[in-house]
Structure formats: C-alpha cells, structure tokens
Structure 1
Amino acid sequence: MNLNYAIPSLEDTVKLVRGIGGQCYGYTVDLAKKEDIYRVAKLVHKDVGRVTLLVNNAGVVSGRYLLDTPDHLIQRTFDVNVLAHFWTAKAFLPPMIEHNDGHIVTIASMAGYVGVAKLVDYCSSKAAACGFDEALRIELETKGIKGVRTSLVCPFFIKSTGMFDDVNSRFLPQLSSNDVADRVVLAIRTSEPFAVIPGLLRVMICLKWLVPWQVAADMIRVIVPDAVPASPVVAATVTAETMAKPGTRPLAVAPPQRHDRHV
C-alpha cells in the first residue's frame, strides 16, 4: 500500500457526498506534523467557513511488545493518537468559543481504559486521549462555555480498518465500522459525553476497579488473548478508510444544509 491509495479514496468520498446533493471538500493532512495541521486548518476556514463539528478519528498502531517497538514508532503513536488532538482543537476551538457553538468528538478506544499486551504505546495514547476529552470538557464548563460540547467515544476492536483485522478476541466479536459510525452520529446528535461500544463494556470498566488486580488481568487476557497475532499492522485510519503513510489522513469537510461545518 502507498499514499496513492489515500487520495483516490478521499476523492471517492467527496464525489459520493456531492453525488447525493451535498457539499464536500477534501484535504490531505499529515497529523504527525503540527505545522501541516495548522496549514490545512487555514485552508478549511478559508474554503468552508466556521467549523462547528470536529471529529478526531485518526489513529495508528504498532502492535509489538514494548521492547521490540522502535522509538520512532512510539513517537508516531503519540504524535497521531494524542498530540494531533491538541493541534486540531487549537485550530478549530477558538471560533467555537467565540460563537458559543460547537462540538469536539474524540474517538479513543476501550484500550484507553484496559491495558493489552503488544499495545503498550497504543493503550497509553488512548488513555491520554480519554484524559484530553475529560479535562477539556471540565475546562470549558469552568469557563462557562456551555454551547461547546465534547463527546468521548470508546469502541472495542473494529474490523475492516486494517489495524486489528487479525485480533484474537473471545466472547466479543469485532465491531462493524458502519455500526460504530452510526453510534458516533447518535452521540453527536444527543450531545452524549461518553459512549462505550458495545455498551455492556461499561460494566467491564467498573469491574476492573472492583475486583482484585489478578482477576482483572486474567479476565483481560481471556477476552483478548492476542491483539496482534499476525505480523504487526501499521495503519492510520479515518472512518472506514485505511492509509499506509504513517500519520497521514484525509480530511473531508462536508457542510450540511444548515450553518454547521464538519471536519
């Protein structure tokens, strides 16, 4: 796979939206580079206007034991899975605050609450993403900004994304990307602050802190014996699309009929 795969996919998405009568703009941005995020954000503001919905949905995974993971892959994991959230928020949040109208969605993972072997850097980055959402929500409330909302979405493993296609998971099937997308839309429409997919995993989060550590650890290993049983998969995902260049993702902006602007 190479970067050439990403551009046609982005173009297809733009054509699909326009084909059903919508407006759509497509951009390619390297989320591992702060300067590139700010550059594309300026283009979005210029071409589209005020953004009222920001969805941070890009992610990368190395899928190796910690001591087998090269330093640059650990750095990339945090650049894309965590730090990019700061740069996109700083780029799009000010107009939201100015108009007291907006919504920031953080697509994290159950891995942000439950540690898994071979995913030390990934789990750490997703835990940081969970902390980012919670602290940002508290900060907005503290400043009296009630019109800007946040939603944290924590799904189980999603199939057909190129990241965890071979995961060995017992009892819990991998999720459909379409079902997850529908659940994210519901969270946005209802201003839901915290969505776990599937919902029954909320119980698992609670049990983790109620039972002895060894019981929790054994339970995790039983449910997910091996998150990356095959060769490590390295991919960055946006919605259901998969790209090969680390840290790079397409940015599609589709303004609906009203004043909202989506990123």
Structure 2
Amino acid sequence: MPTNNQNQNNQNGPTAMQTLQVFLEFFWVLIQLTYFNIEAIVRWFVPPPKKSVNGEIVLVTGAGHGIGKEFAMQYAALGATVIAWDVNEQNNLKTVKEINRLGYPKAYSYVCDVSNREKVFETVEKVRKDVGDITIIVNNAGIMPTHSLLEHTQKEIEAIFDINVLGHFWIIQAIMPSMLKRNHGHIVSISSCAGLSGLENLVPYCASKFAVRGYMEALRMELELIPNCQVKLTTIYPYMVDTGLCKKPIIRFAEAMTMLTPYEVAATAIDGQMRGVRHVSVPRLYWYMNNYFRMNAEKGMKAMKEFLGVSLGSDLS
C-alpha cells in the first residue's frame, strides 16, 4: 500500500529531483543530436568503408529490365551470386545469360509475381533448396502509371500497392527469418524521390513510395530492439530514371538535371549498401536538400519545386 507521503507527492506533481532528471535527460538528447549532425556531415566527406559482397546471394526483383538488370549485372561483377526474379521470363533469362556469358559467378532465373504472397514463399523455398539462403534483398520491382488520381482505375491503384509495397512485405517476411537466424543480411528497398515529395500525375505512386520509406524506417526500429542485430537496411531514392517508366518528363533545367541512367542508379545504390548507408538518394544531394526544405514553411517546398520545374505529364494525353 502507498504511504501518505507518496500519495501526497503524486497529487502535488513531480518532485524537484524528478524534474531535474527529465531536464538532464533532455539535455543529453540535445548533445546527441549535435553529435549525430556533426557525424552526418563528416560521413558526407568521409564515407564508411565498403564491405565486400563476394559470395553473397543477392535477390534482385524486376531483374529483366532497367535498374533491376543493372543491379543484377553489377552485383555479379562484384562476385555475388545473383537470384534474378521477374514476371517476364524471357527478359529475365536474357539478364542471366548475359551474366553467365561475361564469366561472372552463377546467376539463376526464377519467374515470380511478387504481389502473390504464396508464390513468393514458394519461390524463396525453391531458391533455398537450389542455391542457399538469400543474404541480400533488392526490392526493385515496381510499376508507375502517370496520370491524375481521378483517371486511375481501381485495378491500377491496387496493382501499384500490390507490387510496389505489399510485394516488399511478402519478400521480407519470407527471407528475413533466415537472416536473423544467421545474424547476417541486408535489405535494399527502392523508394523514389517521389517518396520524399509529392508530384502531380503520381498520386498513387508517390503514396506507394512514401510507404516504402515508412516501412523501412519502422522496420529499422524493430531490428534495433534486437541486441547486436547485423541485418542492415538501405532505402534508395532515385530521381527520374530513363527506363521507359517516365514517359513524359518535364524538366526546366534539362541540361543540368538530366534523367538518370539505370547504370548510375544501381552503382550508387550498391555503393551505399556496401557502405551500410541507411538512405541513398540519386543524386546524393537530394536527400539533404529535401530535409532542409522540410524544415521550412510548406509553401517554400512548393516554391522550390516550381523553380526547378520538374514534373511528369499524363501518359493518357
């Protein structure tokens, strides 16, 4: 039973000692914020060293085309065994044959619809039996219809989330248990610069890419609850990429802000994964610019967007 003094303290609010403790804890948080900001600036100029991916088993979704193909090619060149997934069997096989023709370590082709949870689990189990446990995931597969929200059909919106978001969940749920068991692994998820700021004609797509950013941040929080967890996460935010998805790009400063090539996106992303960087935008400066403008008035973000003049026209017109 609480004493009369304890009841009186509870009624009168926190004691001077409790107040001092909260103040000191908050002051310590401010010190940590200062340290972490300085650390981030130093890391910009002196990035962490790369860790080899030689011998890793890397799953790349959407490996039959564009960025996914480049991921597969570049990981293979670095000595990793590549597990290529795509719904297009013909394109996927072309990627694997090209890797093998160049004499890189063995690459394997699997047809898998990432939006189908049962199929994902079946294919992961088949990979485990054929090759071994996947140690690096590259959640790359995605679709990007570009027209106004009211012109999007129900089928389109559902497909965007099924592939761009839910497919990531199914893959992670199927593979992360083995990573945790081995205490070794890395999950790379492709968001987008459209996952940092909204853009017209991309409402469902932006929502899906914001979701990728959100689930990766939340998943990191869960993993940090596990002592000495060595399963790492990296989220990638590319600017417009010349893969055919950006059908009608509108760029005011076209010479200075040219569309990215799949090669440079994959190269920058792999470099970030090997260094254990949590967030990688392509170009790298965009992540920091977005964080800066987010600290200003909302209208400031809109003013900068209008100045840059970057948008996408409708693919229906």
TM-score norm. by structure 2 comes to 0.68
Matched, 1:212 2:212: no
1:197-252 superposed Cα distances (whole Å, 9 cap, x missing partner)? 101212431233233222311322443453134437xxxxxxxxxxxxxxxxxxxx
Q: Distance in 2 between matches of 1:78 and 1:145?
A: 33
* TM alignment of 1:43-62, pairs within 5 A: 43-62=126-145
* Change beyond 3 A, Cα 1:49–1:37: same
* Change beyond 3 A, Cα 1:14–1:222: same
Aligned to 1:41: 124
Q: Distance in 1 between matches of 2:194 and 2:184?
A: 30
- Pick one of 75, 100, 111 that aligns with 1:18: 100
Aligned to 2:312: 227
Q: Is the contact between residue 168 and residue 229 of structure 1 (CA under 8 Å) also seen in structure 2? A: no
Residue 31 of structure 1 aligns to a residue whose secondary structure is: coil
Matched, 1:193 2:296: no
Larger radius of gyration: 2
* TM alignment of 1:133-152, pairs within 5 A: 133-152=216-235
Q: Distance in 1 between matches of 2:158 and 2:105?
A: 38
* Change beyond 3 A, Cα 1:153–1:225: closer
Q: Is the contact between residue 147 and residue 314 of structure 2 (CA under 8 Å) also seen in structure 1? A: no
Per-residue deviation at 1:7? Answer: 2.3
In proportion to residue count, which structure has more helix? 2
Residue 110 of structure 2 aligns to a residue whose secondary structure is: strand
* TM alignment of 1:239-254, pairs within 5 A: none
Aligned to 2:47: none
Q: Is the contact between residue 57 and residue 106 of structure 1 (CA under 8 Å) also seen in structure 2? A: yes
1:173-202 superposed Cα distances (whole Å, 9 cap, x missing partner)? 211110111111101211111111101212
- Pick one of 102, 114, 121 that aligns with 2:185: 102
Aligned to 1:238: none
Matched, 1:158 2:250: no
Q: Distance in 1 between matches of 2:277 and 2:237?
A: 12
Residue 249 of structure 2 aligns to a residue whose secondary structure is: coil
Q: Distance in 1 between matches of 2:142 and 2:315?
A: 19
Q: Distance in 2 between matches of 1:228 and 1:48?
A: 44
- Matched residue type, 2:235: L
* Change beyond 3 A, Cα 1:105–1:23: same
Aligned to 1:177: 262
- Pick one of 172, 193, 204 that aligns with 1:89: 172
Q: Distance in 1 between matches of 2:191 and 2:276?
A: 17
Residue 10 of structure 1 aligns to a residue whose secondary structure is: helix
Matched, 1:31 2:114: yes
Matched, 1:124 2:194: no
Q: Distance in 2 between matches of 1:174 and 1:94?
A: 37
Q: Is the contact between residue 89 and residue 110 of structure 2 (CA under 8 Å) also seen in structure 1? A: no
* Change beyond 3 A, Cα 1:117–1:221: farther
Q: Distance in 2 between matches of 1:91 and 1:143?
A: 19
Instruction: Point out which structure has higher relative CO (alpha carbons under 8 A, 6+ apart).
Output: 1
- Which blocks of at least 5 consecutive residues in structure 2 are unaligned? 1-85
Q: Is the contact between residue 223 and residue 231 of structure 2 (CA under 8 Å) also seen in structure 1? A: yes
Q: Distance in 1 between matches of 2:310 and 2:107?
A: 42
- Matched residue type, 2:264: D
Q: Is the contact between residue 53 and residue 104 of structure 1 (CA under 8 Å) also seen in structure 2? A: yes
- Which blocks of at least 5 consecutive residues in structure 1 are unaligned? 233-263
1:17-43 superposed Cα distances (whole Å, 9 cap, x missing partner)? 222142111011112221221121111
Q: Is the contact between residue 151 and residue 191 of structure 1 (CA under 8 Å) also seen in structure 2? A: yes
The count of corresponding residues between Structure 1 and Structure 2 is 228
Residue 88 of structure 2 aligns to a residue whose secondary structure is: helix
- Matched residue type, 1:61: M
